[in-house]
């Protein structure tokens, strides 16, 4: 999906954005993982991914043709990272029962060759049909697979599948762009009669907070 020059450009820009000398980086996985977020606000190169003509039909197939973007972010898995904790994505992760259709779908755009050694994503095939999500600290499963795929590929999956980044036992950071989308729940007639205030509340006008500022509680 991505050419060598696009991969280099994304990788360089993401590593620049990841620099946070003021300590405000969003770290995870024992401080060896870093999310770089709000990427649609960080250059047209990122905007281009959101409606990539080769990806849109797959998202439409999984989520319906009125699906919406949730986040465009990036996950950097540094050397020394352990296996991450298994999870399902967002709201789906906190629901029990088997969803009758995908509610959310995730796409990882590989900016490195993914391998079992460098933090390639792990998945438990068929786990979108499990009645429960993983326990919070669960980081292994007997049926797990570790993704092996060349850089430039896109890994697309139902967000209810148990997944997590793998351990990085190499000396180079493993980087992926993550375009995460959801099913829309608003009926067209509800959108059509919404007042400006309701449209704002529904999120049509929503603007993310500036980068890496704590969310107001």
Ligand X SMILES: O=C(O)CCC(=O)C(=O)O
CA distance 48 to 52: 6
The C-alpha atoms of residue 150 and residue 58 are separated, in whole angstroms, by 20
Task: Provide, rounded to whole angstroms, the least separation between the CB of residue 102 and ligand X.
Answer: 14
161 binds ligand X (CB under 6 A): no
Among 34, 70, 75, 158, binds ligand X (CB under 6 A): 75
Which x/- pattern, by CB under 6 A, does the window 89-118 give for ligand X?
A: x----------------x-x----------
Question: Considering only CA atoms, which of 74, 78, 89 is closest in space to residue 167?
Answer: 78
Binding status of residue 11 toward ligand X by CB under 6 A = no
* Alpha-carbon gap, residue 184 to 103, rounded angstroms: 9
Closer by beta carbon to ligand X, 39 or else 108? 108
| Count of beta carbons in the 10 Å neighbourhood of residue 149 | 16
How far is residue 196's CA from residue 74's CA, in Å, rounded to a whole number? 32
Q: Which is nearer to ligand X, 103 or 176 (CB)?
A: 176
Q: Is 128 a binder of ligand X (CB under 6 A)?
A: no
Beta bridge partners of 157: 106
Least CB distance to ligand X at residue 164 (A): 5
Residue among 140 and 186 whose Cβ is closer to ligand X: 140
Please say which residue, 83 or 212, places its beta carbon nearer to ligand X: 83
DSSP 3-state of 184:
coil
**Nearest distance, CB of residue 213 and ligand X, angstroms:** 21
**From candidates 165, 167, 173, 181, binder to ligand X by CB under 6 A:** 165
Nearest distance from C-beta of residue 208 to ligand X, angstroms = 17
How many whole angstroms separate alpha carbon 197 and alpha carbon 134? 38
Asked whether the beta carbons of 166 and 110 are under 8 A apart, the reply is no
CB atoms within 10 A of CB 26: 14
- Out of 178, 179, 181, 182, the residue judged to bind ligand X by CB under 6 A: 178
- The span from the CA of 146 to the CA of 166, in Å, is 7
Q: Is 173 in the site for ligand X (CB under 6 A)?
A: no
Q: Quick one: which of 55, 176, 177, 179 contacts ligand X (CB under 6 A)?
A: 176
Binding site for ligand X (CB under 6 A): 75, 89, 106, 108, 121, 163-165, 176, 178
């Amino acid at each position: 999906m991505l050419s060598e020059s696009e991969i280099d450009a994304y990788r360089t820009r993401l590593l620049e954005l990841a620099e946070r000398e003021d300590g405000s980086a969003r770290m995870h996985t024992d401080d060896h993982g870093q999310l770089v977020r709000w990427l649609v606000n960080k250059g047209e190169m990122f905007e281009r991914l959101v409606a990539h003509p080769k990806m849109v039909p797959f998202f439409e197939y999984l989520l319906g043709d009125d699906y919406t973007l949730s986040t465009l972010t990036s996950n950097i898995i540094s050397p020394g990272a352990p296996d991450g904790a298994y999870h399902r994505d967002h709201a789906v992760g906190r629901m029990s029962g088997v969803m009758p259709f995908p509610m959310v779908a995730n796409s990882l755009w590989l900016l490195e060759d993914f391998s079992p050694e460098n933090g390639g994503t792990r998945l438990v095939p068929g786990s979108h049909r499990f009645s429960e999500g993983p326990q919070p600290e669960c980081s292994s499963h007997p049926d797990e697979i570790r993704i092996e795929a060349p850089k430039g590929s896109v890994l697309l999956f139902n967000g209810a599948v148990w997944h997590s980044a793998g351990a990085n036992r190499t000396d180079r950071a493993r980087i992926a762009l993550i375009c995460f989308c959801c099913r829309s729940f608003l009926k067209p007639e509800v959108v059509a009669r919404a007042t400006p205030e309701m449209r704002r509340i529904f999120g049509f006008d929503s603007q993310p907070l500036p980068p890496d500022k704590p969310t107001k509680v």
